[in-house]
Structure 1
């Protein structure tokens, strides 16, 4: 056996007991009668009685234990339905009702809690030290059926930007800075760990591109570390909040819309008819930011395609005062905002 294979096997043995399957169930109206298609148990049509409901398994995902007292990391899109019930199933087959402690308001991260002690917890690595071509391993509940399925590949891209679906309602979440990998990732092993050969979690498997082979994405584990620190300390995930919608400018947008500069965050509402560019009484509103302003700098650091306003904001804490350089038509303004907690 090659030494490289031994490292893979040891890493899987170390992490495997910490990986859980997440079963998603919901109470749905019970079908009273109806016709079914041949070889199918699904009713073609029928009557449902709203008062007569049954518990139905509607999906599955993966997660991994990150604290011996029962804290579990997974994707927000796995536990996005607030009306559903969740059960964590360990590699030993033990089942625990799982409570969603917090859903990250920005990233595709959620933290669950089960009532158990002395559980095997995954050691969290440092996603800031990941290199292109590095060997990585994904462990999860493949297709919602095959528990602790192991896939191996490499890191094929760093700091990618994708849009991922949060649930069946069509909600989309835009994720920046994610890891691209050729490891086989599917809907079932979303939320499972992406580990290195030392058996440390360096990412959370989150998305695939349908119709494309060997293209998957993972959330860097460093993003989740801050969430876990907040939950242990405050009981919730705390994120800074400014209260504005924007689009990051580039040379193409400058040319298309005849803008004065090719960088910065243009404060503008989105395509939703009910959308507003600045939330009333938000830190941005109190600071005097107006729609169509361009936020050029945040605390002296220039904002561009590679330095996003939202990413920069995460460096500050609730209660911090930040200085923004704003371009309003031909006038450059210096505005101050006191950061609040995102609710």
Structure 2
């Protein structure tokens, strides 16, 4: 009898155990079957709130959220007819391959991409000149909200890699511009943020780095153009093809540079045009509808110790006007001021010309029409002359 009771007791305990497992599984299935239950809502809300680990991380997140609505992707397109004609210019034998002849010459085809950012409420956009250098291309933008607008190229800086565009057909629409900072107060090691259309495919890609160099001089190449860029910002923030023209920001979300180039020979070496070089371009476009850049009209060599020794000169600074034909542009301010081949311009408006303070760097702070005093060395004699600067667009 006791044996039967013991057996029944064991059976009873086993049944309770199995019932417990069943109820546990059933409760689990109920929770899984109702993802919108209160418990899951609490879990979802907790997971959706991210708290930055550091003050810097928090500053980066806020700057990006603040800036991204004002950053746009620039789409570069050409009609199939223009593309076909350009192929014929390179290879005339293509005309014999009828399958290459476009059925509709007006169909637009994407040929490139870049980045820009809005700088005025009425739709002015700043970007790199090389992004919009093709006169036969059609340009449009894609906003962060997914809207597409046609844009007009208003002006290109003749010396800097800067261009100003305007959004078309928007009438009274107001846009959110980025605030332009001050690139003259940058420090090495300062944190920066780059935003751009990476590789022309990934819109509003964000990368973070530091200012790793200031006042760099580089030779940039792209879109069949070669330019010497002076006083450029160097950063290790990743900048890729398609990022050109995008903003380089400080942690306050202010633009301190325009992303323009990346070194192909090294890793984490990128460059940006200081925003202070572009501020007056925006002002001029708003007032005059164009970028007016001062023009002197000479080909020159910036002297240093090496050139002074090689050329047997008594000075190791200044701008030596090349002793060759057309080193002085006909009818230019330089010709009107009677400058000659072989002259050395020592000072421009009382500023000494050197390898660190080149004539090209100095002159960009002036405007067409200004009369400037320059100090010249000719035949070992120094003298002063006045020159009225011209407009680059006229030559």
TM-score normalized by structure 2? 0.79
Residue 159 in structure 1 maps to residue 211 in structure 2: no
Instruction: Please state whether the residue corresponding to 2:261 is helix, strand or coil.
Output: strand
Residue 77 in structure 1 maps to residue 130 in structure 2: yes
- Structure 1 equivalent of residue 205 of structure 2: 149
Cα offsets for 1:66-117 (capped at 9, x unmatched): 1111000000010011111101110011000110000001100000000332
Number of aligned residues: 325
- Structure 2 equivalent of residue 140 of structure 1: 196
| Structure in which a larger fraction of residues adopt strand | 1
| Structure in which a larger fraction of residues adopt helix | 2
- Structure 1 equivalent of residue 187 of structure 2: 131
The offset of 1:329, in angstroms, is 2.6
Residue 297 in structure 1 maps to residue 347 in structure 2: yes
User: Structure 2 CA distance, aligned partners of 1:187 and 1:20?
Assistant: 15
The offset of 1:268, in angstroms, is 1.6
User: Structure 2 CA distance, aligned partners of 1:299 and 1:24?
Assistant: 42
Cα offsets for 1:178-227 (capped at 9, x unmatched): 10000101121010000010011110000011131000000001111100
Residue 364 (structure 2) aligned to one of 314, 332, 339: 314
Note the 1:213-232 alignment, pairs <5 A. 213-232=267-286
- Larger of the two Rg values belongs to structure: 2
Residue 245 (structure 1) aligned to one of 299, 302, 322: 299
Residue 179 (structure 1) aligned to one of 233, 237, 261: 233
User: Structure 2 CA distance, aligned partners of 1:325 and 1:176?
Assistant: 23
The offset of 1:253, in angstroms, is 1.6
Note the 1:1-343 alignment, pairs <5 A. 1-29=53-81, 46-47=97-98, 48-49=100-101, 53=105, 54-115=107-168, 116=170, 117-168=173-224, 171-268=225-322, 276-343=326-393
Distance 1:211 1:300, change over 3 A: closer
The offset of 1:269, in angstroms, is 7.0
User: Structure 1 CA distance, aligned partners of 2:323 and 2:258?
Assistant: 31
Cα offsets for 1:264-312 (capped at 9, x unmatched): 0011279xxxx72111110000001111211111122211111111221
- Structure 2 equivalent of residue 36 of structure 1: none
Distance 1:28 1:137, change over 3 A: same
The offset of 1:120, in angstroms, is 1.4
The offset of 1:51, in angstroms, is 9.2
Answer yes or no: is the 8 Å Cα contact 1:161–1:174 preserved in 2.
Answer: yes
Answer yes or no: is the 8 Å Cα contact 1:76–1:166 preserved in 2.
Answer: no
User: Structure 2 CA distance, aligned partners of 1:194 and 1:342?
Assistant: 28
User: Structure 1 CA distance, aligned partners of 2:97 and 2:187?
Assistant: 55
User: Structure 1 CA distance, aligned partners of 2:264 and 2:361?
Assistant: 27
TM-score normalized by structure 1? 0.90
User: Structure 1 CA distance, aligned partners of 2:97 and 2:267?
Assistant: 39
User: Structure 1 CA distance, aligned partners of 2:191 and 2:138?
Assistant: 35
Answer yes or no: is the 8 Å Cα contact 1:245–1:269 preserved in 2.
Answer: no
The offset of 1:315, in angstroms, is 2.6
When the two chains are superposed, the root-mean-square deviation of aligned CA atoms in Å is 1.9
**Gap regions ≥5 residues in structure 2:** 1-52, 85-93
User: Structure 2 CA distance, aligned partners of 1:224 and 1:143?
Assistant: 24
The offset of 1:166, in angstroms, is 4.7
Instruction: Please state whether the residue corresponding to 1:93 is helix, strand or coil.
Output: coil
- Structure 1 equivalent of residue 45 of structure 2: none
Distance 1:290 1:120, change over 3 A: same
Answer yes or no: is the 8 Å Cα contact 1:179–1:217 preserved in 2.
Answer: yes
